[in-house]
Structure 1
Amino acid sequence: MPLVRNPILPGFNADPSIIRVGEDYYIATSTFEWYPGVQIHHSRDLANWTLVTRPLNRKSQLDMRGDPDSCGVWAPCLTHDGEKFWLVYTDVKRKDGSFKDTHNYIVSSPTIDGPWSDPVFANSSGFDPSLFHDDDGRKWFVNMLIDHRARPRTFAGIALQEFDPSAGKLVGPRKNIFYGTDLDLVEGPHLYKRNGWYYLLTAEGGTGYGHACTLARSRDIWGPYEVHPQQHILSSKDHPFAALQRAGHGDIVETLDGKTYLVHLTGRPTTQERRCVLGRETAIQEAFWQDDWLYIKNGPIPSLFVDLPGERDEQQYWAERKYAFDSELHKDFQWLRTPETDRIFSLDNGKLTLFGRESIGSWFEQSLVARRQEHFSYDAETVVDFSPEDERQFAGLTAYYSRYNFFYLTVTAHSDGQRELLIMSSEMSWPNGKLQLPFPEPKKIPNEGKVRLAVTVRGRDLQFWYALGSDQELQKIGPVFDASIVSDECGGHQVHGSFTGAFVGVACSDLNGTALPARFDNFIYRPVSHHTDRYEV
């Protein structure tokens, strides 16, 4: 079998849940505050994956307005019971401080493309839920428990309770079946059954550099569960120079020919500060069974290269993406939090129109449409037509992580009405979320006419460019910024607190409240192979 380079889902694709239905493999990943909720990719060979759907795409299923950064949809679990698909997920409304408000829901669909049902509320006792279909037909809901008293731990263990699909609710007793190991922070549970054993795979150690996959087993679904001889079957925590770091939160799948693989989240840090600009990505490892225990081939350290049934299409991975704004927004793009898209954008006459709403970084309603950064180096550009009247109206091109960390080249105006180009940055502004002052010197431009905006990222270096008119040569504007700031490690929280990844896209704000529109002709994302990107070249 060919060697394939990890990750198999590059860029922000965290908390993978994998299933096989016949010859088809599906992976569901977290989307946090980005809408629509949950990404589901499809593959036939485990090497090449295509985004096929985001199932939480209407207000009755998901409304994240007000959800803080890195809250929203956490750790979905995708399963199939032989008749239909099931998806469970958490909508997190608060995560910082002593309390965590975590609401868990279940949806289902006859096909992966939908229609997906309205959600059934399960509970709010923790997060990272999964659904296990036992061979006797019963269904079991598994999730971690939060104890705000921290007695003895805030992450209090893994709870099990039966789910009755006919009644649409959890029924019967709930029991804490696994308290985790000394690594602590037990979460991300998945149940399996093999050779009469129940296996419980969990994540431990937080989502930083101490992350791990822990396996335990029991003859009875209620336990007690004995821990694997290695305790942690996958982790980079003791290997700081491994190519794949932050490895944990996994799920298991078996191929048609009986091979076993584990998918897991990982991060590829860059710079001396070990910053994961691409966020937490999805990798895969070959595994094998021995004495009714699962082991990772060459593990527990995750491998950068893995034997898979297929060979990755490198040409497609490095292909330029040119997006036209026709009748439907391309599936690569997402926006933030709101299900009411007609308030923030429209597509007509081949243009994407953004209606200026709240400021960039708002937790409620901001007009920002973006796609994931999937490569350490890239070019992106767009053409915008925007006629601001003052400094409270601005639109343009942004490299974005969260309200605390973004770079933003805007078309705006001075208070006297003169149009200008202005770069805004909030780099390293945690905990106050303030813009980095003073701004680079603005560039006065004519009050009418389209403006071409571009950004180039080469590893750590980020440079903005502009041209007056769509056919003029680009010119540099502003200084070279530190692109690694737009990363998990600088995302506005301390350890284990930022969970998404870098995006690049377009945005529009009107702080006057008049919803002034900005019209974008197109968008280009061009991957670049660069000598500093040691994991890609």
Structure 2
Amino acid sequence: MPKVLNPILPGFNADPSILRVGSDYYIATSTFEWFPGVQIHHSRDLANWTLATRPLSRKSQLDMRGDPDSCGVWAPCLTHDGSKFYLVYTDVKRKDGSFKDAHNYIVTSETIEGPWSEPFYVNSSGFDPSLFHDEDGKKWFVNMLQDHRRRPRSFAGIRLQEWSEKEGKLVGPWKTIFFGTELDFVEGPHLYKRNGWYYLLTAEAGTGYGHAATLARSKDIWGPYEVHPKNPILSSAKAPLAPLQRAGHADIVESEDGKTYVVHLTGRPITQKRRCVLGRECAIQEAYWADDDWLYVKNGPVPSLTVELPAARDDTAYWAEQHYTFSASDGLHKDFQWLRTPEPERIFAVQDGALELTGRETTGSWFEQALVARRQTHFSYDAETLVHFSPLDERQFAGLIAYYCRYNFFYLTVTAHADGKRELLILASEASWPEGRLKFPIAEPVSIPQEGKVRLAISIRGKDLQFSYALEGAVELTKIGPVYDASILSDECGGHQVDGSFTGAFVGVAASDLNGLETKAKFDYFTYRPVRHESDRYEP
């Protein structure tokens, strides 16, 4: 079989849940504060994947206004009971400090494309929920249980309870069926049944460089569960030089020909500071069931950079330039997302051949900011846009942004001085947690004519970021500002304590109007151009 290079879903695609229905494979991944919620990719061969849908697209299903960075939608679980799809997800409203507010829901659909149902509220006792359909027709809900009394960690085990679809709620007794191993931080549970055994796959040891996947089993769904003799079954913790790091949070699928595979999150660090600028990505490993009825990852537990799959991967689209234009008939391209709000009409519109942003709150607002962006999926790339914006003063700005979170972004703006004269100004916030301040001194602004469109561009080569611009009619780009450290657009610098940031770098366009006048900024196009560069350790 052909050898395929991991990850199979490059860029921010964390916490994978995999499912096969007939000849179709689906992977659901976390989207956190980015709307619409949950990415579901589709494949027929496990090697080539396309984005099929983002099912949480209505206010009634998901409203993340006020959700802090790296909160929102955590660890979805996608299953099928033979007649319809079930999607389980958490909306996290708070994660830092002694308490977590995490609300779990279920939506269903007869087809992967939808329409997806209104949500059933399930519980708020923890996060990372999943649903298991047993052979007798019963449905079981599991999630990690949190206990704010525990110090220093609130991870209190895996909770099990029956889900009654008829009543639309949990019924009967509940029990903590697994307390985890010495690796601690037990979360991300998935239940399976095989040869009379119930198998419980969990994530442990946090989501950083010690991350791992643990397998346990029992003859009774209520336990007790015995732990795999070679625990963990997947981890890079003891292999610091392995190309795939942070391996864990896994799920299992069997192919049509009976082979077993494990999908898992992973990270590919760059620089000596080991920063994962592409966030937590999705990789796949071949696995097998041994005579002892335990699952083993082939050549594991350290994940392999390459894996044999039923088909070769066609990387043509991956390396192709993506030139996005905007028409009302086509709407916003599916590569783009925005932050938190389920009312996108308040922050953007696609009309008259442009993407029109309505200036709202500041960059980094947890409520309503006009920022539309796509994932960074390559270590090196060029991006550009053409903007028409007429600001009145320094409190109105719009332009091109490389964004991780409210604490980490690089933003080339068209703005104005206090006297109303238009200028270009770079707003950079480099690893500014916990203050959330801009980097001072700010690079010198560049005066530009009061009228006319401006071409804005960004080049990233590994850790180096350089902005440039051109006035309307000019062909050549002119560099502006210093070379910035792009590697801070990473989980390791994401504005939380160690292992507390969960998303990935984006690049896109944004607009703010801090005067509250809702000034519009129009963008004629957006181009994302992957670049093969010597700094890219992991790409062919």
Q: TM (normalized to structure 2)? A: 0.99
Q: Counterpart in 1 of 2:484?
A: 481
Unpaired runs of 5+ residues, structure 1, are none
Deviation string, structure 1 residues 279-306 (Cα, Å, up to 9, x no partner): 0000000000011000000000000000
Contact preservation (8 Å) 1:9, 1:282 = yes
- Identity percentage over the alignment? 77
Q: CA deviation at 1:231?
A: 1.3
Q: 2:240 maps to what in 1?
A: 240
1:403 to 406, 420, 433: 406
| C-alpha distance in 1 between matches for 2:117 and 2:109 | 6
Flag the 1:213–1:470 CA change in 2: closer, same or farther, 3 A.
farther
Shift of 1:472: 2.4
CA distance in 2, matches of 1:310, 1:84: 28
- C-alpha distance in 1 between matches for 2:36 and 2:213: 28
**Residues 278 and 461 of structure 1, relative CA distance in 2, 3 Å threshold:** same
Query: Are 1:412 and 2:412 counterparts?
Result: no
Tell me the alpha carbon deviations over residues 347-378 of structure 1, each in whole angstroms, 9 at most, x when there is no partner: 11110000000001000000000000000000
After TM superposition, the structure 1 = structure 2 runs for residues 180-191 of structure 1, keeping only pairs within 5 Å, are: 180-191=180-191
Find the partner of 2:358 among 355, 371, 374. Answer: 355
Equivalent position amino acid for 1:52 in 2:
A
Q: Establish whether residue 517 from structure 1 lines up as the match of residue 504 from structure 2.
A: no
C-alpha distance in 2, partners of 1:392/1:349? 26
Equivalent in the alignment of 2:104: 104
Per-residue CA distance 1:28-78 (angstroms, 9 max, x = gap): 000000000000000000001000100000000000000000000000000
Paired residues for 1:460-475 under 5 Å: 460-469=463-472, 471-475=474-478
Cα distance in 1 for partners of 2:205, 2:510 equals 36
Name stretches of at least 5 consecutive residues in structure 2 with no aligned partner.
none
State the match for 2:218 in structure 1.
218
**Count of residue pairs the alignment pairs up:** 537
Aligned positions of 1:133-152 closer than 5 A: 133-150=133-150
Equivalent residue letter for 2:147: D
1:185 CA drift (Å): 0.1
Q: From the superposition, tell whether residues 115 and 300 of structure 1 become closer, same or farther in structure 2 (CA, over 3 Å).
A: same
User: Structure 2 residue aligned with 1:506, among 506, 509, 512?
Assistant: 509
Q: For 1:308-327, what aligned pairs fall within 5 Å after superposition? A: 308-327=309-328
**What does 1:43-442 correspond to in 2, within 5 Å?**
43-150=43-150, 153-290=153-290, 291-327=292-328, 328-442=331-445
Secondary structure class of the residue paired with 1:454? strand
Q: 2: CA distance between counterparts of 1:246 and 1:326? A: 40
- Supply the RMSD in Å over aligned alpha carbons: 0.8
Q: What's the secondary structure of 2:228's corresponding residue? A: strand
SS of residue paired to 1:88? strand
Moved more, 526-535 or 467-476: 467-476
Q: Of the candidates 432, 436, 443, which is equivalent to residue 446 of structure 2?
A: 443
The alpha carbon displacement at 1:96 in A equals: 0.1
Q: Tell me how far apart the structure 2 counterparts of residues 130 and 170 of structure 1 sit (CA, whole Å).
A: 13
SS at match of 2:466: strand
CA–CA separation in structure 2 for the residues paired with 1:151 and 1:473: 58
Q: Check the 8 A contact 1:385/1:449 in 2, yes or no.
A: yes
Q: Is the 8 A contact 1:451 1:470 kept in 2?
A: no
Partner amino acid, structure 1, of 2:73: V
Amino acid in structure 2 at the alignment position of 1:348: Q
TM-score, scaled relative to structure 1: 0.99
Whether the aligned pair in 2 keeps the contact of 1:383 and 1:470 (CA below 8 Å) is no
The 8 Å contact of residues 216 and 228 in structure 1, kept in 2 or not, is answered as yes
| Structure-1 separation of matches of 2:2 and 2:11 | 23
CA distance in 1, matches of 2:205, 2:152: 16
Q: Is the 8 A contact 1:452 1:470 kept in 2?
A: no
